[in-house]
Amino acid sequence: MTNIYGYAYERKGFWDSWGHLSPQLLKTGIAVSILLGVRSGPPTLLSVIASFALIGFVIITWLLMRKHDRTLCESCARSIPLNAAEQSARYRRRFATAHAGGNLKLVIAYLAVLLGSNYLLTVPHGRWVWAAIQASMIYLISAHSTHRRLQPWCPWCSDGGGGSEFDDATPDLPRDPGRRQLV
Ligand SMILES: [Zn+2]
Ligand SMILES: [Zn+2]
């Protein structure tokens, strides 16, 4: 896990702002792609252009999110809640999901399901199941950004990354550097 709590940098410029807003932008991008996918009728030139623009947008946003997540920007630092330990107790499932992103086999299986689900677009009513599978990405991004925000309180990140117990005490900041970035 990357050390993001060592210092907070001042966010400046368009790309930093894009990176900071990337979880919300990615979720919006995925929602738009689901809407494009479930709309019935043959593809039009406009819908094909929109699909490619969307893919480009999602890739750029994802890269900016990775860059943003390596450090902690001032706005993110300010958004850490005062009752972080309390909130973290409620987000165990999200933390576990975020850590599952570090399991290569699981990631490959998930990507296979994501790609394979495109077949559902060709069968009657399959597009609704496809939409539900695609929507799982929105949850994954939420899990990732919750984990990033509350990482010092994540039980899986405690004890050098192998911990499994909650500690209600405020963690020592900054964290040990050199941890691998998830997702
Ligand atoms: Zn930020
Ligand atoms: Zn963690």
**Structure token pair of residue 90:** 């409620």
pTM above 0.85, yes or no: no
Q: How far is the CA of 66 from the centre of ligand 2 (A)?
A: 16
Measured from the alpha carbon of residue 10, the closest ligand is 1
pLDDT tens sequence across 161-173: 555 444 444 444 4
Measured from the alpha carbon of residue 70, the closest ligand is 1
Q: Which ranges of 44-166 would DSSP assign to H, the alpha helix? A: 45-69, 74-78, 84-90, 92-100, 104-116, 126-149
pLDDT tens sequence across 95-149: 999 999 889 999 999 999 999 998 888 888 889 999 999 999 999 999 999 998 8
The 10 Å Cβ neighbour count of residue 140 is: 19
Q: How far is the CA of 73 from the centre of ligand 1 (A)?
A: 4
Measured from the alpha carbon of residue 76, the closest ligand is 1
Measured from the alpha carbon of residue 78, the closest ligand is 1
Q: How far is the CA of 131 from the centre of ligand 1 (A)?
A: 29
Q: How far is the CA of 121 from the centre of ligand 2 (A)?
A: 35
